[in-house]
Amino acid sequence: MIEVELKYRLDEPESLLASLIARGAQPGAPTVERDLYFNHPARDFRQTDEALRLRWDGSQATLTYKGQLLDRVSKSREELELDLSPETGLETARRILGLLGFVESGDVEKQRTKFPMLDRGLPVLVTIDEVTGLGLFVELEASAERDSYEAARDRLLELAGELGLTQGERRSYLQLLVEQGAV
């Protein structure tokens, strides 16, 4: 499955919130997510544009692999996720990755509020992230098969325009933090 994603810096969250609610999106409860990234022992994920991440949101742990970006417009890429045991999964996965030679490469913490919605028949997840050390961002996300991801991407681009989002950002939160010298 392809994760079709667009990310934007967010200066005026009130305007966006009003637009989302007018479109029928209902905010979920804010959660704090901690993402721990790993680098491959034989290839540099920063060079190959891949990512391997362990995420903890306070109740659930997830291991995620993100493949290379598919285009120069969005953050669309193959994404594979594996839910881990809430009790022991995070630390067990962290230990396994370390034993296999993966190296921890960065830590990102954010407060995230999710706004699931349906936009012209396309299930869209809008998230507002307050990233420690970076500020506010909004992500628009949908899932698609590889042969149809461009249509979903184009719909998300239209939605971004309708929501007044203009400050596109293709770099990951980790990359932005590294560039600031925070990681």
The pLDDT assigned to 183 comes to 80
Q: CA 88 to CA 85: how far, in whole Å? A: 6
The model's pTM is 0.94
For 13-22, 66-75, 85-94, which range has the lowest pLDDT when averaged over its residues?
85-94
**Rounded to whole angstroms, how far apart are CA atoms 138 and 168?**
10
Contact between residue 103 and residue 35 where contact means Cβ atoms under 8 Å apart: no
109 secondary structure, DSSP code: E
Domain span holding position 119: 2-179
> What percent of the chain has pLDDT above 70?
100
- Tally of domains within the chain: 1
Q: Tokens for 82?
A: 């594996």
Q: How many residues does the chain have?
A: 183
* Active-site option among 8, 37, 149, 173: 37
For residue 75, which amino acid is it? K
Give, in order, the Cα–Cα distances in Å from 34 to each of 48, 62, 131, 170: 23, 11, 10, 20
* CATH label of the domain that carries residue 103: 2.40.320.10
Q: State how far the Cα of 128 lies from the Cα of 56, in Å rounded to an integer.
A: 17
pLDDT class for 10, splitting at 50, 70, 90?
very high
Handedness of CA 56, 60, 63, 66 (dihedral sign): negative
Cβ atoms of 183 and 37 closer than 8 Å:
no
Across the range 88-92, mean pLDDT stands at: 91
Active site residue 37: yes
Average pLDDT of the residues in 56-72 = 95
